[in-house]
Chain A
Amino acid sequence: MASGEFHGVVSAPHHARIACLLVADFPLAAIIRANSELHDRPFALIRTARGTRCTPHSELSQVSAQAQTLGVRPAMTVAQARALIPDLAILNPSPAAERAAADALIDVAESISPIVEEGAPGCVWLDLTGSTHFYRPANGHPKDVDETGDTHEESIAAELVRRACRVGLEAAVGVAAGKEIARLAARCGGARVIEAGREREFLDWMPLDLLGLGRNARGDDLELVLKRLGIRRLGELARLDTRAVGSRLGIRGAELMRLARGDDSARLAMRSRTEVFAESLDLEYGIETIEPLAFVMRAMIAHLTERLQMRGLVAGDVALTLGLADRRRDDRRVAVAAPTLDIRALLTLVTLHLEAAPPPAPVESIRLALGARVARPAQADMFLPPAPAADRLGAAIVRIAALCGPEHVGRREAAQSHRPEAMRLHRFAPPPPTPPTAAWVAAGPGRATLAVAGAPAPATANVARIVMRTIRPAPPVEVMCTREAPEFVRGTNVCARVVSAAGPWRRQGEWWASANGDDDASLTDAAAPAAYARDYYDLALADGGVYRAYRDLNSGQWFIDGLYD
């Protein structure tokens, strides 16, 4: 997104098409979005600072629709409201929830158009100029009407309403040639499109009380003044003389006249915005256990994944900030093995992280941010071997990581070290499948030999390479020797006579690491010392197994390293 104010790129006003996405009673909508159980319950917000207690004399600032139905109105006291509805929920306004809802609304707008202006809380304008080209069906109708009979702008408006609903907001959309007319159209509710040239027709019946006129420079209530003059609709105002209205009502009156005549030339002012996919929530009471915390976070993750999905993105790492009751902040970062939009997997990862290190005090606020990643596009090829789809593979890896831990899934490889147990774990990203070559298929039904470019030399008819099953950490054993040759092995799971033995072969190294104190701990077992010096043996025991054993030259202790299987 460009930084700074946006000028001159928006089309000329007479061609412009602007949509307004409006959420009525935005603070209430933000609270309902964060606490879905309030959707069908009467509640009200009070005018108190956060942290102050609700008293019977506290004044209600906003009232939900259910409460209004039962007679509760703003400016009532809590006592008056509770007299009407005894179980009325009284809440503090939540700036965090409002900010998250505003971001979600902007995401909805930006999923349709790149030119977006944020207005008052709960109001977003977006430029739809030329967007009908993108939404034109393949068999484009000359009158821009789709198969359902709606114009493309109506389809876009309906889509905006649907997308707002996906992020938990009930929004109305208006589409018109100007910002203010679009906002007035949105105030009518639903999805309303004012066709170009028919603005006057729409504005003529518009009641003045819908406009929220406020006061002019002299402090007069404009709506009251106009009502005294017998003017109740914009159409009546438009028929007056502009100079006369300007001289009586000032600049605000002149602006109102221009609007009433359909002259809405205000441009969109796009401002820079940091693209953060975060949801915040202030809790009424501190949460002490993981389970209710996970319940709250599930809704937050669901909203975030919806926002990411609308923008064509997937979720990367999770940043979790918990505000604690003792005024401390608990910052966490949860690694996600592969970008995903799987709510369950993300929630499990966060929950596992919290279970491993629970917050030291009750949680009073939550901020959850998902890192945005671009989804990897993939195109399957009919003549290539099948490969896992990137999104499904990512989802599977994330789920497995949630079950087994992120350190237990990926691409396992031997590290560049002579220490046999040195391994590294990489993110699993298989290379694209290679096209089959003619040499792949050998003659014969069994297709016994594989000759692929770059592959190791083919095995002969009945021979394969033996593989070792390692035992980590290597268990110590007792080995009885005769003239330094192993004769008997006794350990926890092994107790047998040595039938044949090969060795020893000495391996030693990494002494420099211990000397400098800069050993790479990830390469080695935590229990093992950095420097090693070992004599390795291959021991065929009477129990039928061939083991790889070694004697640590520093301690003289024997260990079983693995089993040839």
Chain B
Amino acid sequence: MATALPFLANEAALLATSETIRQQPLAVRPEPSLKLKDLLEITGVFRGRELTRKERRLPCGIEPLDRLIGGGIVRGRISEIIGNPGAGKTSLATAFAAAVTARGEVAAWLDATGCFDPASIAAAGVDLARILWVATPINLSPRRPAGMAVLKAAEWILTAGGFGLLVIDCAGVDDFNHRAFTQSAALRLAHGAERSGAAVIVIAPHRMCGTFAALSLMLSRNRACFSRTCGGAPTLFDGLTLEARIARNKLGGSGGAVIWNALVEPPTAISSASQLTAPPASASAPGAGPRAAVR
């Protein structure tokens, strides 16, 4: 093995910091500009070793938020995105899914609420061909409540392996509205995530996994942005300004918060909510919001 892959001979170098690695000449580099650590992270060569490492993270692409949570959510752990309806939970989970599919990985979306909107999710940059959609019907038999179906499906997906991300969307399901997962269920989910190395995101109105969640991000809506180009022109909905606050972080500090924007049509260069005055010039993608004004 070491003969075939000379760069694996020196494991100490691989476990060193990225700065150290950057200084060392590499024996095998498929693409010169790729860092070895990144390459190994992509391919999961050191999957077993990297599972518990804080550096193995999945960023969402929203820079301040990624910085707040230390570079992204941790793979092999459960991260919760909690908040009221309309707080931007789905948009944030979609950003993570877009990042995963852009890397060529496969993700799964467990839709316990039936709220999955493929048009707007595809418009957010998610490659739907790499998303396994599973809807757990709410009206299962009494022997099989929705919560059990969600957990079983999640376990099977994690057991299958190879998934980069599993999103469990249980916001708005009556089964989950007033109570969290049981301790044993959350523990099983955490073990499944750790074994498979997949990042698990739970979208819920409140904290569901208790101590077994590595990160709990609480989202809230600051304001909704509406605008019109000139007097008499139709009003347009531009998006939401949202706040993300760390409610719990086992791998870093808690309490930090950032403001970010979720827009119907993200412009190419908008950095703050104060610039959200001009409406988007082009029509939106199908499903992201109707834009053919008739009045």
Q: Which A residues form the contact surface with B (CB < 8 A)?
A: 381-389, 392-393, 395-397, 399-400, 403-405, 408-414, 418, 420, 423, 425, 428, 430-431, 433-438, 440-441, 445-450, 452, 455-472, 499-507, 535-536, 538, 540, 544-546, 548, 562-565
Beyond known contacts A436-B34, A463-B262: 6 more, CB 8 A cutoff:
A385-B42, A409-B133, A464-B266, A502-B234, A540-B224, A562-B115
A503 and B236 CA atoms in complex are apart in Å by: 7
The yes or no answer to B264 lying at the interface (CB within 8 A) is yes
The 4 closest A-B CB pairs, nearest first, are: A388-B162, A545-B86, A505-B290, A538-B237
Q: A455 to B102, Cβ gap below 8 A? A: yes
Residues of chain B within 8 A (CB-CB) of A563 are: 85-86, 115
- What residues of A have a CB within 8 angstroms of the CB of B99 in the complex? 450
Nearest A residue to B269, CB-CB: A460
C-alpha spacing A384/B272, complex, angstroms? 37
B-side contacts of A546, CB under 8 Å:
86, 224, 237, 240
Q: Which residues between 106 and 137 of chain B lie within 8 Å of chain A, taking CB atoms?
A: 106, 113-125, 128-137
| A278-B123 Cα distance, complex, nearest whole Å | 47
B149 on the A face (CB < 8 A): yes
Question: For the complex, what is the distance from the CA of A464 to the CA of B267, rounded to whole Å?
Answer: 10
Interface flag for B21 (CB, 8 Å): no
Residue on A with the closest CB to B103? A385
Residues 131-171 (chain B) with a chain A CB within 8 angstroms? 131-137, 140, 144, 149, 152-153, 156-157, 159-164, 171
Chain B nearest CB from A338 CB (Å) reads: 11
Given contact pairs A470-B117, A505-B290, A538-B289, A386 touches B47 in the complex (Cβ within 8 A): yes
For window 39-65 of B, CB contacts with A under 8 Å fall at: 39, 42-45, 47, 59-65
- Measured CB to CB, the closest approach of chain B to A412, in angstroms, equals 4
Contact at A388–B160, with CB atoms within 8 Å? Answer: yes
A-B contact pairs, 27 of them (CB 8 A): A382-B45, A384-B42, A388-B161, A396-B156, A400-B134, A403-B144, A412-B116, A413-B118, A414-B286, A425-B133, A430-B132, A431-B130, A446-B71, A448-B61, A448-B66, A455-B102, A459-B62, A459-B125, A462-B258, A464-B60, A464-B91, A464-B260, A469-B85, A545-B85, A564-B237, A564-B240, A565-B171
Nearest CB on B from A157, distance (A): 38
Which one, B72, B88, B103, B259, contacts A436 given CB within 8 A?
B103
A466 touches B263 (CB 8 A): yes
Which B-chain residue is minimally distant from A433 (CB atoms)? B104
Verify B226–A502 contact, CB threshold 8 A: yes
Number of interface residues of B (CB under 8 A): 115
What's the nearest-Cβ distance from chain A to residue B139, in Å? 11
- Complex CA gap A399/B286 in Å reads 33
In the complex, A225 Cα to B285 Cα: how many Å?
94
**What is the distance, in angstroms, from A436's C-beta to the closest C-beta of chain B?**
5
CB-defined contacts of B87 to chain A, threshold 8 Å: 565
Given A459-B61, A467-B94, A469-B115 in contact, is the A388-B240 Cβ separation under 8 Å?
A: no
- B60, B62, B236: most-surrounded residue (chain A CB, <10 A): B62
- Residues of chain A within 8 A of B159, CB atoms compared: 392, 396
Residues A466 and B136 in contact, CB atoms below 8 Å apart: no
Q: B235 interface residue, CB < 8 Å from A?
A: yes
- Considering the chains assembled together, what is the distance between the CA atoms of A82 and B214 in angstroms? 70
